[in-house]
Structure 1
Amino acid sequence: MEVNGYRSDGVGAAVAMVNAWTGEQGSTPDVPGARDVLRPFSFLVEDVDEGALGPLVQWAGELRAFFVLDELEAAVEYVNGLLARVEVRPRLVDHGYGLHLHHAPSGVPFVQRMRINTAMGLAHLVADYGLGRSGVCAAGDCDRVFADTSRNGRKRYCSDACANRANVAAHRARRRAAAPGAGRG
């Protein structure tokens, strides 16, 4: 049983980093901005300093490459390459909330912890679901990424806003096509 959510925290952090710091909407963060992006995923964000920003943005770019893959074999190879570059030393710890598993060795720098946890999160995502639950947003004008760890696994958009915008556009297109006189020219 996954008590502390490291799987989802690593996946969620990967998605958040990619969407915040890469692609058309991406920007280079400052320390408070980087902490804000990562805070929801239960990492010790107070360890983020100026020296971590460049390596975090670079890693986000490498993580983006995973989300654009559409063949399982290529994704497995890519994630294995990420895993080969991190030092994973699983250990059981108890911070007063019950025993749980940490993937990172004790005392490693923040950037290394992020690399380990995001790589492990993506590895679990691929092992558990294949590629059907991750990718680039299905909205034609959006390059943000998503990963769906929900029970039903039907997410295809990065956000409700993109899903709603696409659904409204499709509805309007169907109404126009069904309108009397449509298609005459």
Structure 2
Amino acid sequence: MGEPTSRTGAEFVDTLTLQPWAKLSLVGAGLLVLGSFQPWITLDVSETVATTLGVPTEETAGGLGGDGVTTLFFALVIAGVVLFYAARSESGPGLRTAGLSLFSGLVVAIVAYAVYADARATQDGYAAAEIEGTVSLELHASLFVVALGAIVLVASGAIGIKREWTTPEE
């Protein structure tokens, strides 16, 4: 047995087999990572409404204090699986990985929408109390980054499934 060889990062990247759809999956995972850290939504309630209903004057949703942990998990799983198969297989990530990208994108899209819908329902509930004061909902850019990441994952997964399904094994 010879001595172990070490490779630079560039040499390792050159050995990866990544189809265009798999690269797109990595972009989607990167967007999820970026959007997962910051709050997605802020609900601001006037002092009058907050005092009357016994709620805080500001509530945030998403980010690492909420469902951002879920989106970050899916991002890391997708990136890990894509890179694992890119490094281990001559043909690169295959049909199962494309399916995982599609599934993860759908789950993340549902999570992001659920956070938004819950904040809207809370806002509507406070407004329905008909108390003099304001209730405003602020959508942060990180929610849109997560949504874009989910769309990219769904698209890359669908493209990958189509390509892998119709490409004969060699």
Q: More helix per residue: 1 or 2?
A: 2
TM-score (normalised: structure 1)? 0.30
How high is the TM-score relative to the length of structure 2? 0.32
